[in-house]
Amino acid sequence: MVIGKRLRRFVYGLLMEENSRHPLRRISDFFLLGLILANAAAIVLASVRSFGQRYGAFFTGFEYFSVAVFTVEYLLRLWSCAEDPRYRDPLRGRLRYMLSPMAIVDLLAVLPFYIAAGGADLRMLRILRVFRLLRLVKIARYSKALQVFGRVLVNTWGQLVFSLVLLAVLLLLASSLIYMAEQDAQPEAFSSIPAAMWWAIATLTTVGYGDIYPVTPLGKFLGSVIAVFGIGMFALPAGVLGAAFLEEIQAMNKTTVCPHCGRRADEARAEGGGESPSSG
């Protein structure tokens, strides 16, 4: 019983504890990160017909090996998560962990393989192969930058949704206006408001493919105004994310703990009069 608890604690520190300093933690992280990147490379190379035919056996064997490793990793995380106070309950705690975002990603990384192994038609197998790319999302466990990005998205979710709603309204308005201006001059290109949305999307994003464009004076005027509005509207979410990133970085700097003295970085700077440790 004691040995089992110690082993579970060891596995928890190896796979899940954020501040773990176990010497094997870095090796485990590098191994899993390398395996994820190798899986992405294998999926890309296997789609090339010459590589797929020549090294098909290797890709198949590597897929079996990867699924085995990711399956064991998922089961070990599910077993050791009880060391976390949030998932302390043996049953409900583990169910709660299984519903967490990263646990769902871990499950989706291996689930397509088992569904395909259980029998699926050809079209379903093609879809499931694409879903293997979800393994790339597992990189978020090992990247501080991606973790910061995730927190920023959560913190700015309301503002981003509001920006998307404004973009959708502008898209509908632009499509309706250009449809009314161009439907008589170009009945094939602007046959309906949904058909005009392709032009509106290309114009609002300032891509401007040039396959569809207004020819009437009113249509050209509307196109110019819509393009200008598009620049401003797409700058709005970028501004929201930029401000949120700045706030998150400032918050991280305030709560960063010095590994030498154990104090927060802002406290250490205040005591040192704002000088860096190397300035003396």
> Could you report the per-residue pLDDT of 216-259, keeping only the tens digit for each?
999 999 989 988 888 877 777 777 777 887 887 777 776 555 54
Query: Pick from 166, 149, 147: which is nearest to 241 by CA?
Result: 149
The pLDDT > 70 percentage for the chain reads: 80
Residue 140: the pLDDT is 67
- For the chain, helix (H) and strand (E) counts, in that order, are 12, 0
- How many domains are there within the chain? 2
Residue 274: the pLDDT is 47
Cα(134)–Cα(107) distance, rounded to whole angstroms? 10
pLDDT at 81 over 60: yes
pLDDT at 65 over 90: yes
Residue 98: the pLDDT is 92
Per-residue b/e over 241-261, b at no fewer than 16 CB within 10 Å?
A: beebeeebeeeeeeeeeeeee
- 61 pLDDT band, cuts 50/70/90, is very high
Q: Look-up: residue for tokens 């899993």?
A: 32
Residue 125: the pLDDT is 54
Residue 97: the pLDDT is 92
pLDDT at 44 over 90: no
Average pLDDT for 28-42: 87
Residue 130: the pLDDT is 63
Contact (Cβ atoms closer than 8 angstroms) between residue 135 and residue 70: yes
Same domain, 190 and 109: no
pLDDT at 129 over 70: no
Task: Kindly state whether residue 183 falls inside one of the protein's structural domains.
Answer: yes
Q: Of 111-115, 155-159, 241-245, 268-272, which gets the smallest average pLDDT?
A: 268-272
> Tens of pLDDT along 3-18?
778 888 888 888 887 7
Same domain, 60 and 181: no
In this structure, the number of other CB atoms found within 10 A of the CB of residue 94 comes to 18
Average pLDDT for 195-212: 84
Average pLDDT for 182-195: 89
Q: At what angle do helices 101-117 and 122-131 cross, to 10 degrees?
A: 150
Residue 255: the pLDDT is 58
Same domain, 172 and 103: no
Residue 276: the pLDDT is 44
Longest dimension (CA), the chain: 82
Same domain, 162 and 190: yes
On average, the pLDDT of the chain sits at: 79
Residue 238: the pLDDT is 77
Residue at which a domain ends, from 108, 142, 176:
142
Domain containing residue 39: CATH number: 1.20.120.350
Q: What is the dihedral of CA 98, 103, 107, 108, to 10 degrees?
A: 120
Task: Kindly state whether residue 149 falls inside one of the protein's structural domains.
Answer: no
Residue 132: the pLDDT is 67
Cα(140)–Cα(30) distance, rounded to whole angstroms? 13
Domain that includes residue 214, residue range? 157-271
pLDDT at 154 over 90: no
pLDDT at 275 over 50: no
Same domain, 177 and 115: no
Alpha helices in 118-156 (DSSP H): 122-131, 144-155
Provide the token pair at 87.
Answer: 């998932």
- Contacts (Cβ under 8 Å, ≥6 apart) of 8: 79, 80, 82, 83
